[in-house]
């Protein structure tokens, strides 16, 4: 029973992370790529401010619940749920590293800009941010699907 509760908590927390990726696949990437500098800068700054305040909690809950799930399932290291939770945990760690080493530093630079004062190569920053985020999408969707697969077929 405790494993099922942890799976539920982890799936809920992980779904917040992966929902952002699906939003970018559906529309947010295209929207950002078609924005003028002033609109893009305002959007990035507002998103960053809101995500800094709220997204950390989601990451911490996901990381904690995925770690606990992997530890609880380690009793059966050849079991499907252990393997899928380990994949999800590795993907989550990769997501965090990519974010901290890639997107967060770019966000810090963009947060110093204004609509009137930004570098001429601002589109390069946008392209780099989106490129890093695309890698994050791959890992967090992979992690979520692995976790979901384990929850359905491994219990």
Please, which residues have CB within 8 angstroms of residue 41's CB and are 6 or more apart in sequence? 110, 113, 114, 115, 118, 122
CA dist list (Å): 97 to 37, 58, 59, 123, 140? 28, 15, 12, 23, 12
pLDDT at 9: 96
pLDDT tens track of the chain, all 155 residues? 799 999 999 999 999 999 999 999 999 999 999 999 999 999 999 999 998 889 999 999 999 999 999 999 999 999 999 999 999 999 999 999 999 999 999 999 999 999 999 999 999 999 999 999 999 999 999 999 999 999 999 87
pLDDT at 132: 97
pLDDT at 3: 92
Integer Cα distance of 31 and 43 in angstroms: 11
Separation of first and last alpha carbons in the chain: 10
How many angstroms from the chain centroid is the CA of residue 145? 13
């Amino acid at each position: 029973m405790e494993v099922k509760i942890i799976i539920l908590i982890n799936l809920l927390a992980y779904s917040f992370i992966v929902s952002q990726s699906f939003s970018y696949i559906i529309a947010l990437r295209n929207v950002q790529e078609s924005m003028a500098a002033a609109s893009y800068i305002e959007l990035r700054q507002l998103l960053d401010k809101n995500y800094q305040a709220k997204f950390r909690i989601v990451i911490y809950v996901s990381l904690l619940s995925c770690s606990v799930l992997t530890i609880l399932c380690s009793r059966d290291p050849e079991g499907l749920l252990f393997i899928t939770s380990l994949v999800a945990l590795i993907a989550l760690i990769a997501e965090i590293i990519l974010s901290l080493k890639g997107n967060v530093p770019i966000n810090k630079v963009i947060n110093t800009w204004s609509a009137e004062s930004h570098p001429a190569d601002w589109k390069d920053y946008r392209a780099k941010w989106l490129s890093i985020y695309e890698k994050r999408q791959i890992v967090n969707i992979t992690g979520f699907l692995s976790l979901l697969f384990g929850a359905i077929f491994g219990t």
